């Protein structure tokens, strides 16, 4: 008993000890886990705080970079890839905005690798977008366009229409820089199509403003003004700083200036420079308008002190350290002196323009300054001219290369499709392929079915037209026969009235007068009258024969049509023919449908024999077997192998269609070297049984 109790107490002690240890470990793990989650949350919040502070443009650049670098270090500690890629995407954009190329490249590369790992096409597209904008900023335009194009196509596939529209606008801007005017216009219009349904009025303003600039650059000034009006409509729909309105005034003014309408140009620039607030808030915009205003008024022969205006613009731009703009102001000052034929005072501004253009890599201003220096600096004219030529050639060549690259990027879709297959999820991919296959088969079926229907319709219409022609010919032939009959009837009537009737009347009167006379003279006269009656009998018999012959010709009208067909066809081909038919059968009483279709069948068969059989003789046999008409068309040509011959040619289809229309049967018998024979068996219907006539056929033709 004591041993059992001791054993039980010992087991209870072990259980309690184990429970306490497990409970302690679990509590510690939960505490650690809660601590990690708390720390993780704090890290996420801290990163967002640093990013938000680093976005504050009121801080100095160095302070902002310090905050962003702290955020980047904390982002490296985030274990969740989906959270980390979001932070890196935000950081890369901010580094790009601050022109920090080193940190931008690092964050951009990490975000790119994470997007590939997560198969996150959306984040990958944002990565391409930021990279494209950065490359544009450092003047690597071809690569910038390439990555923007990749981002655009992915976002369109993801139905991210808004961002796709923004990127398309960025692509158009890059194209405008290298004078790819048509490509830029195409992408700008595409951006408008994407953004207009979304009522993105600010971006729509920018798109139409860009179209105005493009039209101005290619000399289509009226179209340019229309685009500027469209831009202003969208500008009125948004609450934006007045800066955009001033930029629009400046663009309109430059267009008037280039068009030569100096008065309107001056009005536009005055709308900007008359406000001192523009100078204090947006000095760069004020300086641009002031520079253009000065350029307009000296050409308009006004008495305003132009140099003082340009010098003020130079001071503003110098304070902003805008060397590219300074090159433009000094060029305007030089142009003013040259306009007044003062080349001596123009030389110094030109040298400054050249210097600032070189320092800012503004090749357009540099090219313009070199051209003007070559004109006024006679000593160094040759050197400036040569440099001008070299620079112009290199710029033209570079622009051509870029335009060609842009064109290739636009149309190289195979690579984009291949990359999208790697990025789009497997289910979406297979679903897309399945839908595409179904649509393809459906479209193919519909197209093929429609083509077959159209082909049948054309076939039926062609047969109907052919039948109408034959029917018209038969009607015409019948009309001619009827006319012949009428003429013959009239002739016979005249013969009976004028000839036979007169002779019979004369004989009757003579005989009436001789009824009571029995002398020899009367007997002679009677004999003459009887002879005259015999002549009348002969004439009546002759007229009867003529009528019989006319009736015979009328009965064989259809046979004559077939005979003429054989004679006309075989004569031109130097081929003989035979035609056998039953003279006792009234062939013209066959229904019009049989005659028309049989005529065409014989015509097609004879033509095939002449064309393919290389025959010397064609034989045609008509015979009547009870209620069926048997037609046999044969030749002594080369023949063919029935097993190796396709029966879906147009000739075979025509023959089959016509025989089926007559509820008949047909067979072909042919052997190589033994000729060919076509046998038709058609149920006979007569003309009196038909309900079709020419009026109904005409009505069908109208329908």
Give CA angle at 85 (79, 88), nearest 5°. 110
The per-residue pLDDT for 10 is 58
The per-residue pLDDT for 469 is 65
Structure tokens, 310? 């340009």
User: For 490-510, what is the mean pLDDT?
Assistant: 63
- Res. 680: pLDDT tops 70: yes
Give CA angle at 27 (24, 33), nearest 5°. 140
- Res. 171: pLDDT tops 90: yes
The per-residue pLDDT for 225 is 95
Out of 43-47, 76-80, 286-290, 615-619, least confident range: 43-47
Closest Cα to residue 221, out of 260, 263, 271, 272? 260
Closest Cα to residue 615, out of 576, 643, 586? 576
Q: For residues 594 and 681, what is the distance between their CA atoms, to the nearest angstrom? A: 11
- Res. 133: pLDDT tops 80: yes
Q: What are the two backbone dihedrals, phi and then psi, of residue 634, each rounded to the nearest 5 degrees?
A: -135, 160
How long is the chain? 703
- Res. 66: pLDDT tops 80: yes
Cα-to-chain-centroid distance, residue 697: 42
Whole-number percent of the chain with pLDDT over 70: 73
Most confident range, picked from 126-135, 441-450, 494-503: 126-135
DSSP β-ladder status, 576-580 and 617-625: parallel
Q: What are the two backbone dihedrals, phi and then psi, of residue 578, each rounded to the nearest 5 degrees?
A: -130, 150
Tell me the per-residue pLDDT of 614-623, one tens digit each, with 9 for 90 and over.
888 999 999 9
User: For 278-302, what is the mean pLDDT?
Assistant: 88
pTM of the predicted model over 0.85: no
Q: For residues 589 and 577, what is the distance between their CA atoms, to the nearest angstrom? A: 25
Closest Cα to residue 259, out of 215, 228, 229, 291? 215
SS3 letters for 184-208?
HHHHHHHHHHHHHHHCCHHHHHHHH
**Across all residues in the chain, what is the average pLDDT?**
80
Beta bridge partners of 632: 621, 679
User: For 44-58, what is the mean pLDDT?
Assistant: 85
- Res. 246: pLDDT tops 60: yes
Tell me the per-residue pLDDT of 547-564, one tens digit each, with 9 for 90 and over.
555 544 444 578 888 888
Structure tokens, 646? 């396709």
Tell me the per-residue pLDDT of 517-527, one tens digit each, with 9 for 90 and over.
667 777 777 77
User: For 13-19, what is the mean pLDDT?
Assistant: 55
The per-residue pLDDT for 517 is 65
The per-residue pLDDT for 407 is 65
Give CA angle at 545 (541, 547), nearest 5°. 115
In this structure, is the dihedral angle defined by the CA atoms of residues 605, 610, 613 and 616, taken in order, positive or negative?
A: positive
The per-residue pLDDT for 701 is 43
Tell me the per-residue pLDDT of 99-130, one tens digit each, with 9 for 90 and over.
898 999 999 999 999 999 999 999 999 999 99
Contact indicator for 402, 142 with CB cutoff of 8 Å: yes
Structure tokens, 95? 């580094």
Higher pLDDT, 688 or 158: 158
Residue 259: HSE in the Cβ half-sphere, 13 Å Cα cutoff:
21
pLDDT category of residue 494 using cuts at 50, 70 and 90 = low
The per-residue pLDDT for 699 is 47
In three-state secondary structure terms, 678 is strand
User: For 362-376, what is the mean pLDDT?
Assistant: 88
The per-residue pLDDT for 595 is 83
User: For 262-277, what is the mean pLDDT?
Assistant: 91
User: For 633-642, what is the mean pLDDT?
Assistant: 86
Out of 134-138, 201-205, 409-413, 478-482, least confident range: 409-413
Q: For residues 260 and 262, what is the distance between their CA atoms, to the nearest angstrom? A: 6
Q: For residues 320 and 311, what is the distance between their CA atoms, to the nearest angstrom? A: 14
Structure tokens, 677? 């024979």
pLDDT category of residue 607 using cuts at 50, 70 and 90 = confident
pLDDT category of residue 497 using cuts at 50, 70 and 90 = low
pLDDT category of residue 140 using cuts at 50, 70 and 90 = confident
Contact indicator for 229, 248 with CB cutoff of 8 Å: no
pLDDT category of residue 69 using cuts at 50, 70 and 90 = very high
The per-residue pLDDT for 697 is 42
The per-residue pLDDT for 420 is 52
Tell me the per-residue pLDDT of 210-234, one tens digit each, with 9 for 90 and over.
999 999 999 999 999 999 999 999 9
User: For 458-468, what is the mean pLDDT?
Assistant: 66
The per-residue pLDDT for 609 is 84
User: For 420-445, what is the mean pLDDT?
Assistant: 75
């Amino acid at each position: 008993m004591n041993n059992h109790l001791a054993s039980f107490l010992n087991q209870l002690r072990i259980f309690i000890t184990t429970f306490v240890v497990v409970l302690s470990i679990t509590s510690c793990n939960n505490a650690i886990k809660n601590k990690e989650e708390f720390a993780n949350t704090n890290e996420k919040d801290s990163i967002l705080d640093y990013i938000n502070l680093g976005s504050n443009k009121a801080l100095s650049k160095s302070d902002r970079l310090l905050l962003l670098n702290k955020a980047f270090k904390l982002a490296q500690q985030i274990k969740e890839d989906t959270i980390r890629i979001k932070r890196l995407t935000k950081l890369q954009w901010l580094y790009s905005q601050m022109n920090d190329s080193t940190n931008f490249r690092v964050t951009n590369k990490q975000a790119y690798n994470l997007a590939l790992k997560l198969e996150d096409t959306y984040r990958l597209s944002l990565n391409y977008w930021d990279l494209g904008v950065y490359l544009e900023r450092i003047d690597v335009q071809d690569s910038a366009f390439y990555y923007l194009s990749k981002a655009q196509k992915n976002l369109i596939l993801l139905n991210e229409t808004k961002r796709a529209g923004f990127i398309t606008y960025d692509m158009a801007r890059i194209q405008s820089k290298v004078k790819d005017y048509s490509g830029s216009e195409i992408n700008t219009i595409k951006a408008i199509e994407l953004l207009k349904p979304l009522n993105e009025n600010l971006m729509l303003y920018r798109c139409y403003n860009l179209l105005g600039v493009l039209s101005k650059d290619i000399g289509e000034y009226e179209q340019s003004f229309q685009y500027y009006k469209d831009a202003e409509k969208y500008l009125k729909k948004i609450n934006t700083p007045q800066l955009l309105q001033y930029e629009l005034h400046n663009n309109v003014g430059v267009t008037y200036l280039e068009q030569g309408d100096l008065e309107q140009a001056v009005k536009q620039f005055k709308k900007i420079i008359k406000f001192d607030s523009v100078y204090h808030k947006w000095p760069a915009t004020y300086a641009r308008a002031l520079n253009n205003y000065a350029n307009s008024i000296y050409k308009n022969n006004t008495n305003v002190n132009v140099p003082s205006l340009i010098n003020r613009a130079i001071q503003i731009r110098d304070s902003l350290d805008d060397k590219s703009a300074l090159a433009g102001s000094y060029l305007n000052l030089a142009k003013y002196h040259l306009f007044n034929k003062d080349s001596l005072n123009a030389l110094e501004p030109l040298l400054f323009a050249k210097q600032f253009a070189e320092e800012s890599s503004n090749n357009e201003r540099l090219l313009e300054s070199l051209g003007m220096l070559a004109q006024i600096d006679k000593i160094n004219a040759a050197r400036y001219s040569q440099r001008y030529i070299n620079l112009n050639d290199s710029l033209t060549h570079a622009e051509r290369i870029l335009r060609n690259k842009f064109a290739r990027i636009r149309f190289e879709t195979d690579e984009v499709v291949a990359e999208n297959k790697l990025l789009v999820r497997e289910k979406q991919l297979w679903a897309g392929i399945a839908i595409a296959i179904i649509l393809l088969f459906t479209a193919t079926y519909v197209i093929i079915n429609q083509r077959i229907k159209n082909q049948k319709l054309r076939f039926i219409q062609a047969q109907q037209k052919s039948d109408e022609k034959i029917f018209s010919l038969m009607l015409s032939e019948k009309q001619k026969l009827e006319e012949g009959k009428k003429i013959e009837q009239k002739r016979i009537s005249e013969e009976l009235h004028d000839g036979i009737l007169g002779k019979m009347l004369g004989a009757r009167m003579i005989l009436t007068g001789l009824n009571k006379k029995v002398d020899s003279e009367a007997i002679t006269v009677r004999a003459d009258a009887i002879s005259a009656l015999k002549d009348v009998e002969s004439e009546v018999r002759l007229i009867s024969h003529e009528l019989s012959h006319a009736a015979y010709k009328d009965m064989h009208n259809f046979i004559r049509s077939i005979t003429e067909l054989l004679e006309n066809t075989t004569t031109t081909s130097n081929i003989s023919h035979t035609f056998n038919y039953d003279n006792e059968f009234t062939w013209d009483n066959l229904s019009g449908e049989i005659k028309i279709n049989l005529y065409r069948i014989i015509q097609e068969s004879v033509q095939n024999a002449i064309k393919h059989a290389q025959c010397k003789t064609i034989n045609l046999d008509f015979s009547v077997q009870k209620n069926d008409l048997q037609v046999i068309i044969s030749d002594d040509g080369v023949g063919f192998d029935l097993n190796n011959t396709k029966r879906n040619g147009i000739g075979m289809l025509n023959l089959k269609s016509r025989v089926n229309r007559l509820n008949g049967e047909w067979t072909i018998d042919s052997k190589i070297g033994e000729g060919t024979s076509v046998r038709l068996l058609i149920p006979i219907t007569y003309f009196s049984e038909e309900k079709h006539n020419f009026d109904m056929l005409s009505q069908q033709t109208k329908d």
